[in-house]
Structure 1
Amino acid sequence: MSSPMPPPQQFLSAAPLGTRVVVRYRIEGGLTDVLGELVGRAGAECTVRTRRADVVIPLPLVVAAKEVPPAPPRRNPRQA
Protein backbone atom coordinates (compact mmCIF):
# COMPACT_ATOMS: atom_id res chain seq x y z
CA MET A 1 0.00 0.00 0.00
CA SER A 2 1.40 3.44 -0.89
CA SER A 3 1.92 6.12 1.71
CA PRO A 4 -0.58 8.99 1.83
CA MET A 5 0.27 12.08 -0.17
CA PRO A 6 1.37 15.12 1.84
CA PRO A 7 -0.89 18.18 1.83
CA PRO A 8 -0.23 20.20 -1.35
CA GLN A 9 1.20 23.19 0.51
CA GLN A 10 3.65 20.89 2.31
CA PHE A 11 4.64 19.28 -1.00
CA LEU A 12 5.28 22.67 -2.64
CA SER A 13 7.26 23.89 0.38
CA ALA A 14 9.50 20.80 0.36
CA ALA A 15 9.91 20.00 -3.36
CA PRO A 16 13.32 20.93 -4.79
CA LEU A 17 13.34 24.01 -7.00
CA GLY A 18 13.40 22.85 -10.61
CA THR A 19 10.81 20.12 -10.01
CA ARG A 20 8.16 19.93 -12.75
CA VAL A 21 4.76 20.29 -11.08
CA VAL A 22 1.08 20.69 -11.74
CA VAL A 23 -0.79 22.88 -9.24
CA ARG A 24 -4.56 23.37 -8.90
CA TYR A 25 -5.62 26.48 -7.04
CA ARG A 26 -8.66 28.65 -6.39
CA ILE A 27 -9.40 31.70 -8.53
CA GLU A 28 -12.46 33.91 -8.59
CA GLY A 29 -15.27 31.78 -9.98
CA GLY A 30 -13.61 28.37 -9.59
CA LEU A 31 -10.30 26.57 -9.96
CA THR A 32 -7.42 26.65 -12.43
CA ASP A 33 -4.31 24.58 -13.08
CA VAL A 34 -0.74 25.57 -13.84
CA LEU A 35 1.91 23.21 -15.24
CA GLY A 36 5.59 24.04 -15.18
CA GLU A 37 8.82 24.19 -13.21
CA LEU A 38 8.81 25.20 -9.54
CA VAL A 39 11.26 28.12 -9.57
CA GLY A 40 10.64 30.00 -6.35
CA ARG A 41 9.21 30.10 -2.85
CA ALA A 42 8.77 33.14 -0.64
CA GLY A 43 6.64 33.39 2.46
CA ALA A 44 3.19 31.98 1.71
CA GLU A 45 3.55 31.72 -2.08
CA CYS A 46 5.35 29.76 -4.75
CA THR A 47 6.30 30.55 -8.36
CA VAL A 48 5.83 28.14 -11.26
CA ARG A 49 7.48 28.89 -14.63
CA THR A 50 5.20 27.87 -17.50
CA ARG A 51 5.99 28.06 -21.22
CA ARG A 52 4.43 31.53 -21.28
CA ALA A 53 5.23 33.22 -17.96
CA ASP A 54 6.02 32.88 -14.28
CA VAL A 55 2.87 32.32 -12.21
CA VAL A 56 2.90 33.33 -8.53
CA ILE A 57 0.46 31.21 -6.50
CA PRO A 58 -0.59 31.98 -2.91
CA LEU A 59 -0.18 28.70 -0.98
CA PRO A 60 -3.47 29.10 0.96
CA LEU A 61 -5.34 28.92 -2.40
CA VAL A 62 -3.71 25.62 -3.46
CA VAL A 63 -6.06 22.61 -3.40
CA ALA A 64 -3.80 20.04 -5.11
CA ALA A 65 -0.19 19.74 -6.28
CA LYS A 66 2.05 16.95 -7.49
CA GLU A 67 5.25 16.23 -9.35
CA VAL A 68 4.87 15.30 -13.02
CA PRO A 69 7.30 13.70 -15.48
CA PRO A 70 9.52 15.84 -17.71
CA ALA A 71 7.89 17.29 -20.81
CA PRO A 72 8.27 15.17 -23.94
CA PRO A 73 10.72 16.59 -26.49
CA ARG A 74 9.18 19.06 -28.90
CA ARG A 75 8.53 17.70 -32.34
CA ASN A 76 10.08 19.30 -35.40
CA PRO A 77 7.66 21.21 -37.62
CA ARG A 78 6.29 19.28 -40.54
CA GLN A 79 7.85 19.87 -43.92
CA ALA A 80 5.42 20.50 -46.78
Structure 2
Amino acid sequence: MAAQFWREWQVGERVVVRYRVSGGYSDALGELTRIDASGVEVSTRRGLVAVPAADIVLGKHVPPPPPPRHR
Protein backbone atom coordinates (compact mmCIF):
# COMPACT_ATOMS: atom_id res chain seq x y z
CA MET A 1 0.00 0.00 0.00
CA ALA A 2 1.20 3.50 -0.82
CA ALA A 3 2.14 5.91 1.97
CA GLN A 4 -0.93 7.44 3.54
CA PHE A 5 0.36 11.03 3.72
CA TRP A 6 -3.17 12.30 4.32
CA ARG A 7 -3.34 10.48 7.68
CA GLU A 8 -1.23 13.32 9.15
CA TRP A 9 -3.76 16.00 8.17
CA GLN A 10 -6.16 17.51 10.73
CA VAL A 11 -9.92 17.91 10.53
CA GLY A 12 -10.71 21.53 9.67
CA GLU A 13 -7.75 22.06 7.32
CA ARG A 14 -8.39 23.18 3.74
CA VAL A 15 -7.12 20.61 1.27
CA VAL A 16 -7.38 19.37 -2.27
CA VAL A 17 -7.49 15.60 -2.86
CA ARG A 18 -7.08 13.97 -6.27
CA TYR A 19 -8.72 10.57 -6.46
CA ARG A 20 -9.49 7.85 -8.99
CA VAL A 21 -12.95 7.66 -10.57
CA SER A 22 -14.24 5.54 -13.40
CA GLY A 23 -12.43 6.73 -16.52
CA GLY A 24 -9.89 9.02 -14.83
CA TYR A 25 -9.47 11.32 -11.87
CA SER A 26 -11.41 13.95 -9.95
CA ASP A 27 -10.53 16.54 -7.30
CA ALA A 28 -12.20 17.46 -4.02
CA LEU A 29 -11.33 20.95 -2.74
CA GLY A 30 -12.55 22.15 0.61
CA GLU A 31 -12.48 21.65 4.37
CA LEU A 32 -11.48 18.26 5.73
CA THR A 33 -14.32 16.88 7.85
CA ARG A 34 -13.20 13.29 8.46
CA ILE A 35 -9.96 11.28 8.41
CA ASP A 36 -9.76 7.60 9.28
CA ALA A 37 -8.38 4.31 7.99
CA SER A 38 -11.12 4.12 5.34
CA GLY A 39 -10.23 7.48 3.76
CA VAL A 40 -11.20 11.13 4.01
CA GLU A 41 -14.28 13.32 3.68
CA VAL A 42 -14.08 16.83 2.25
CA SER A 43 -16.77 19.51 2.50
CA THR A 44 -16.80 21.13 -0.95
CA ARG A 45 -19.01 23.83 -2.50
CA ARG A 46 -21.15 21.02 -3.93
CA GLY A 47 -21.44 19.07 -0.69
CA LEU A 48 -19.59 16.33 1.16
CA VAL A 49 -17.25 14.12 -0.87
CA ALA A 50 -16.13 10.83 0.70
CA VAL A 51 -12.88 9.56 -0.81
CA PRO A 52 -11.90 5.96 -0.08
CA ALA A 53 -8.27 5.48 0.96
CA ALA A 54 -7.58 3.15 -1.98
CA ASP A 55 -8.61 5.86 -4.46
CA ILE A 56 -6.49 8.74 -3.09
CA VAL A 57 -3.70 9.61 -5.54
CA LEU A 58 -2.44 13.05 -4.49
CA GLY A 59 -3.32 15.74 -2.02
CA LYS A 60 -2.04 18.88 -0.37
CA HIS A 61 -2.96 21.76 1.89
CA VAL A 62 -4.29 24.84 0.12
CA PRO A 63 -4.65 28.47 1.25
CA PRO A 64 -7.99 29.93 2.32
CA PRO A 65 -10.32 31.00 -0.47
CA PRO A 66 -10.10 34.62 -1.61
CA PRO A 67 -12.61 37.04 -0.08
CA PRO A 68 -15.80 37.60 -2.08
CA ARG A 69 -15.62 40.30 -4.72
CA HIS A 70 -17.83 43.33 -4.43
CA ARG A 71 -19.60 44.44 -7.60
TM-score range relative to shorter protein:
0.7 to 0.9
SS in 1 for 2:25: strand
When the two structures are superposed, what TM-score results if normalisation uses the length of structure 1?
Answer: 0.78
- Higher-Rg structure is 1
**Structure 2: stretches of 5+ with no match in the other structure:** none
RMSD across aligned positions (CA): 1.2
Does the alignment pair 1:49 with 2:43?
A: yes
Report the number of matched residues.
69
The more displaced of 35-44 and 59-68 is: 35-44
> What is the TM-score when the length of structure 2 is the normalising length?
0.87
Answering whether residue 21 of structure 2 is matched by residue 31 of structure 1, we say no
Deviations 1:3-32 (A, max 9, x none): xxxx4x32x211111110011000000011
Q: Distance in 1 between matches of 2:48 and 2:16?
A: 13
The structure with the greater share of residues assigned to strand is 2
Are the aligned partners of 2:7 and 2:36 in contact in 1 as well (CA < 8 Å)?
no
After the TM superposition, which segments of 4 or more aligned residues of structure 1 sit over 6 Å from their partners? Answer: none
Which stretches in structure 1 are left out of the alignment for 5+ residues?
Answer: 1-6
Stretch of structure 1 that moved more, 56-65 or 43-52: 43-52
